[in-house]
Structure 1
Amino acid sequence: TLTNGFTVTNPAPMLTALDPAVGTRLATLEVELTGAGFLADASSVDFGLDITVNSVIVPDPARLTVNITIAPGAATGPRDVSVENATPGGGSSTLGDAFAVENPVPALTGITPTAGKRTATLTVTLTGAGFLADASSVDFGPDITVNSVTVASPTELTADITIAPEAELGTREVSVRNAAPGGGESGPMVFTVFESSPWHDDPGWHEVAPIPAQAGNRRDMPHRGAWLAVGPDQEGTPAIYAAKGNKLQNFYRYDPLADAWTELAPVPFDPMSGRPLRQGARGASDGVNSVYMVHGNNTSAFWRYDIAANEWSALPCVPDGPSGKRVRGGGDMLYITDRDSGWVYLLKGDRDEFWRYNTESRDWEQLATPPAGIRNRWKRDSWLAFDGEDAIFAHKANYYDRASSTHDFYRYRVSTNSWDTLRPAGMPLHGLHNGRVRPKRARDGGAGAFDENAIFALKGGNTQQFWRYDVTTDRWAESDTLPTFSPITPRRRRVNAGADLVHYRQGLYRGFFALKGNKTQEFWRYVLPIEVGAVPPARPERGGMMARPGGKLLPGLLVGPSPTRDELVLHAGNTTGPVRVELVSIMGAVLAERTVLPHARARIPVGHLPAGSYFIRVRDGETTVTRKVVIGPGL
């Protein structure tokens, strides 16, 4: 026997081919190497820098399979691949330029925000896959300059963009492109370019110039019988006309763009009784040269104000009608053009009579009687809102249905002089009040105005509540609450008798204007954020939201107040299940999160956070809804 007389060694491998011979950055893939001399316990493979070999499987000496991961920073282009067999014996085999690294085709799945305003510079976050710091670029189309691109990870990048003043308005496609070698362009996502007024740069409630009055003299402030109407000024520019009620004859025009008031010819006293304006007075403009007004205060007086001449003239009195009653609180008035004729529609408070006045023939005509509802009376301040087509919506204040906890709400068809048999959903009784959800009836100071398939309404009744009714879905949702504190007066008051609400629009300038009433001078503007993309407007400055599937508001969830200083209160009513609520900074960081069960309440302390704008993000299954909230500096 010859001890150790023979030695077995590993052969030198031979590498002849790879399949595939190309891989993309970020990819994990399997590559089959062919050749000779491969050994399961001795062969290793080297693809060079930034390519990790996860495993090597040798099914036979002429073939091995390698699982590799290519790092995002791997150098592109061809590279050598080596197979090495360990000692004893062994050796290596290198195949030059055997494998090439290329850039992947990126994928784009999300974009936030989905819209930008002309002239704006903003940061847009794009999500997807295949993003690379040294290869990815973003294309927003003509007249949008991409100032910089920062790749946070292969699945997220941010683009700092500037939208030129001449950028085409509307939707456009956005894509991500990776440079060669390889690379390519992602599928598109949609981005919207819009234009808006400076009002939209800071949406929500803002106090504007107060209606003229003697400071501190409550007898000179808007109260019962105050009203607003949108109509042209003497130059034809849209303006807002206002009477203060409260036994006062003052009459004004407000210029929303100049934020200035002009006193006009005073409203006459009732010629029959000598009474001044008080509860039941209402006004409406034809949009041309007239403002019509019922005098209220248990009178039948009906007036026309000539805008060009700045003078009042008496018109045929409102008929006493079947009730034998004159006009009192609880009614409202609209101007509508129907079949080329101008009509003033009048809900005659505080009974149930409904009339219209032909401005050409100067005749009154009684219309179909509104439904009786819970009680056959229309208390102050019930209101009307016209959809601009064929429907007048009528909200009855004070009375509510105990079973549904909603107020009476009806729809009248102008074309058929009929009230819908199926009643629309009424304004909810419960809403946020002093940071808690409480039952509050719509009463003095209630008012509504129509805009873009929705009615916005002040509940009144010494509340701050501001509601939005979606005509399409027949749903109510609490919106941004009218602040109690006035920076101008400065006092704290809620909405009460003498309040009114109108919608104003001139070119890019659009919003709601509200008298707060309650014997204050306060006059407020409310502007909705631009509604684009997946995140709706709504936006709260205090007040609740109810979010519902489809990017709207989910029924039963209230969040508020806003503005707030100490905490946000989350109240879940009859939600379908647990709802996830997150407090998010404007940079997207989640600052707090809560899970709210049905019929439960949770609180988010915010006193430690800096004053400013934040977002509440609601997640309900696959539905996500976002709303703005404001944390104040100490209210």
Structure 2
Amino acid sequence: MLMRYLKGYSLLLVASLMACSKGSNEPDKIGNWISRGQYDGVGRSGAASFVINDKAYVGTGYDGENRRQDFWVYDPALNLWKQIALFPGAGRNGAVGMAMAGKGYVGTGYDGLNKLNDFYQYDPVANTWTKKADFAGTARYGAVSFALQDKGYIATGYDGNWLKDNWQYDPATNTWNQAQSLNNGKRTDAAVFVIGNKAYVCMGIANGSFVTDFYAFDGTTQTWSTLRPIDNLSDESYDDNYNFKGSSAASFAMRGLGYVVSGNKGSLSSATWEYNPGTDTWIQRTDFEGAARTGATGFTLKDRGFVVLGTSSSQPFDNMFEFDPTAAYNKND
């Protein structure tokens, strides 16, 4: 009897130790984060970014003391960053970036005193910036941006009020036109990713609360559709339930799936969530392996997803990680 008790106790002890050793990355959370080349500029949050020809361009942002104008380009083949021409507008954070027809665009944001509506084009061949027509919506920060069919869009944000409007930019004519606003859900500091010809917008904050509604914008029909909310814990009609409402997360899309990473969810989070547009469902993947942070920047290169920069309280980061959604978790890389 005693031996049987001791044997049972030993099995329970081993199971307990194994569970503790796994920490927050349970075996059902597939995916692995890999440390990549550090951003060569100073650490910062709220940076703008765009991707041209499989290279990522990241700049502006707030380093805890100053709002930046420097911009850098990342080459994944070399795993190296290189500085490019200085952004010509005021140093800022909370700006947006997008790429269309081989050119990059950056606009809006906050310079520490003013909300901004200026808008600039970057030519990677000439390494030059050119001022373009000012954004036609109200000056703002914390908006989202995306490009569909070589047209750019800036939506949501904060201009003294939380916003849900949506504006289209045509680079061929250098003009802005108002597109359909979100169905509902004013917000700032939301997350956006593009899959195919649709942009997906979720998360964000308004009126002191995290929003939970989730929308997709179709670049062909120019309309928004309402998707499942990102907080459905109280809805018994769903077989799977989750809640990851928050703001200032990094986001990207690869291999036909969308990802939101880290951010502020009442406290700083390390969670990684993956969205499948075919089923309109989310699953949780392996937690982000850098420090939990807010205001990080996400981008995709050659179907590889990256998260760089961000801040934790008063500590800005300059490190970068790549996510492999099919690999087993490896704490040593």
TM interval, shorter chain, is 0.7 to 0.9
Report deviation, 1:440: 5.8
1:205-264 residue CA offsets vs partner (Å, 9 max, x unmatched): 111111113xxxxxx42212x0332212xxxxx211111411111100111111111100
Which stretches in structure 1 are left out of the alignment for 5+ residues? 1-202, 214-219, 233-237, 270-274, 431-437, 485-492, 530-538, 540-627
Q: Does 1:360 align with 2:188?
A: no
- Work out whether residues 516 and 524 of structure 1, in 8 Å CA contact, stay in contact via their aligned partners in 2: no
Q: Residue 14 of structure 2 corresponds to which residue in structure 1?
A: none
- TM-score by structure 2 length? 0.76
For residue 257 of structure 2, what is the amino acid of its counterpart? Answer: A
Residues 1:460 and 1:429: Cα distance change in structure 2 (over 3 Å): farther
Structure 1 or 2: more helix by fraction: 2
CA distance in 2: counterparts of 1:204 and 1:511, whole angstroms: 12
Residues 1:470 and 1:370: Cα distance change in structure 2 (over 3 Å): same
1:248-286 residue CA offsets vs partner (Å, 9 max, x unmatched): 1110011111111110001112xxxxx42212x111122
Q: Residue 51 of structure 2 corresponds to which residue in structure 1?
A: 230
Q: Residue 443 of structure 1 corresponds to which residue in structure 2?
A: 247
CA distance in 1: counterparts of 2:271 and 2:284, whole angstroms: 7
Residue in structure 1 matching 2:307, options 496, 514, 520:
514
Q: Does 1:345 align with 2:169?
A: no
CA distance in 2: counterparts of 1:352 and 1:251, whole angstroms: 29
- Work out whether residues 429 and 440 of structure 1, in 8 Å CA contact, stay in contact via their aligned partners in 2: no
CA distance in 1: counterparts of 2:32 and 2:285, whole angstroms: 10
- Look at both structures and tell me which one has the larger radius of gyration over its CA atoms: 1
Q: Does 1:317 align with 2:130?
A: no
User: 1:467 aligns to what SS in structure 2?
Assistant: strand
- Work out whether residues 305 and 311 of structure 1, in 8 Å CA contact, stay in contact via their aligned partners in 2: yes
Q: Residue 306 of structure 1 corresponds to which residue in structure 2?
A: 123
For residue 394 of structure 1, what is the amino acid of its counterpart? Answer: V
Residue in structure 2 matching 1:413, options 207, 218, 221:
218
For 1:203-222, list aligned pairs within 5 A. Answer: 204-213=32-41, 220-222=42-44
Report deviation, 1:441: 3.7
Report deviation, 1:379: 1.6
For 1:530-545, list aligned pairs within 5 A. Answer: 539=327
- Work out whether residues 59 and 72 of structure 2, in 8 Å CA contact, stay in contact via their aligned partners in 1: yes
Q: Which has the higher contact order (CA 8 A, sep 6+)?
A: 2
Which stretches in structure 2 are left out of the alignment for 5+ residues? 1-30, 234-241
- Work out whether residues 302 and 317 of structure 1, in 8 Å CA contact, stay in contact via their aligned partners in 2: yes
Structure 1 or 2: more strand by fraction: 1
1:83-116 residue CA offsets vs partner (Å, 9 max, x unmatched): xxxxxxxxxxxxxxxxxxxxxxxxxxxxxxxxxx
For residue 93 of structure 2, what is the amino acid of its counterpart? Answer: R
Report deviation, 1:358: 0.6
Detail structure 1 runs of 4+ shifted over 6 Å in the superposition: none
- Work out whether residues 253 and 305 of structure 2, in 8 Å CA contact, stay in contact via their aligned partners in 1: no
For 1:70-469, list aligned pairs within 5 A. Answer: 204-213=32-41, 220-224=42-46, 226-232=47-53, 238-246=54-62, 247-269=67-89, 275-279=90-94, 281-286=95-100, 288=102, 290-297=103-110, 298-320=115-137, 325-329=138-142, 331-337=143-149, 342-350=150-158, 351-373=163-185, 377-380=186-189, 382-389=190-197, 391-398=198-205, 407-420=212-225, 423-428=226-231, 441-444=245-248, 446-461=249-264, 462-469=268-275
- Work out whether residues 406 and 426 of structure 1, in 8 Å CA contact, stay in contact via their aligned partners in 2: no
- Work out whether residues 156 and 164 of structure 2, in 8 Å CA contact, stay in contact via their aligned partners in 1: yes
For residue 455 of structure 1, what is the amino acid of its counterpart? Answer: G
Q: Residue 129 of structure 1 corresponds to which residue in structure 2?
A: none
Residues 1:366 and 1:264: Cα distance change in structure 2 (over 3 Å): same
CA distance in 2: counterparts of 1:429 and 1:241, whole angstroms: 36
1:330-385 residue CA offsets vs partner (Å, 9 max, x unmatched): x1111222xxxx31111141211101111111110101111223xxx2121x1222
User: 1:299 aligns to what SS in structure 2?
Assistant: strand
For residue 450 of structure 1, what is the amino acid of its counterpart? Answer: A
Identity of aligned residues (%): 17
Report deviation, 1:309: 0.7
Residues 1:317 and 1:208: Cα distance change in structure 2 (over 3 Å): same
- Work out whether residues 254 and 305 of structure 2, in 8 Å CA contact, stay in contact via their aligned partners in 1: no
User: 1:242 aligns to what SS in structure 2?
Assistant: strand
Report deviation, 1:416: 1.9
